[in-house]
Amino acid sequence: MPKSLKTPLSVWTKIFRRIVAQLETNADVRRVVGIDNVLSWTGKAADYQPLVPTATAPLVRLSPNPSGVDWYSPDAQAGNLGVMIEIAVSSTCIDDVVDLWDMLVTALLPDGIPIPATGVSFSQDLVGLGAETGEIVFSDPAFDRQPAQEPQGYFLAQGHFRLSTIRPVH
């Protein structure tokens, strides 16, 4: 089910969707994960299913979490957009989780692939959407907190990153 509320897109939604688009268009992410295995709560049934990787590809699910909103100036608020990344990898070698996380970090570097139509860099585009600097802080790398627990044969890892936002108040 697509978006059902008739509300304008928030700064957080715009930035989050741009981050998802950056991952979905990255050649390495497309090759290793596949575009259908990048989930981001767009209303598809797969978004809310338990993460179970296939033998040939991992699953990556992103969830936005706006937080820490405070006054920046009389006409703007500053806050953070946190993003939780869940990773399911059909492997028992932790290198796969670590290397997949590194690939995701690399895909989201500030000077990542520019928008073809405008030539604007990834970080500049994020700033244009409401990010303060466009630089993402990868504060909590993905790892599986209980690798020996059920289900066995694959990792279910979770990590977080965040970036600062400036939200105009009208």
Residue ranges with strand state E in the chain: 38-39, 59-73, 76-89, 137-143, 155-168
User: What integer is the mean pLDDT of 49-65?
Assistant: 92
Architecture of domain 11-168: 2-Layer Sandwich (3.30)
Helix, strand or coil for residue 45?
helix
- Helices 11-25 and 122-129, interaxial angle, to 10°? 160
Tokens describing residue 119 = 């030539």
Q: Each residue of 31-52: pLDDT tens digit?
A: 999 999 999 999 888 888 888 8
Q: Are 56 and 154 in contact (CB under 8 A)?
A: no
Residue 98 has pLDDT above 80, yes or no: yes
The pLDDT value recorded for residue 48 is 86
Query: What pTM, to 2 d.p., does this model score?
Result: 0.90
| Domain boundaries of the chain, sorted by first residue | 11-168
Of the candidates 161, 37, 47, the residue with the CA atom closest to the CA atom of residue 90: 37
DSSP 76-104: EEEEEEEEEEEEEES-S-HHHHHHHHHHH
| Residues near 72 by beta carbon (within 8 Å), at least 6 away in sequence | 78, 166
Please, are residues 29 and 106 in contact by the beta-carbon 8 Å criterion? no
- pLDDT tens for each residue of 107-158: 998 876 666 666 778 999 999 999 999 999 998 888 876 665 666 788 899 9
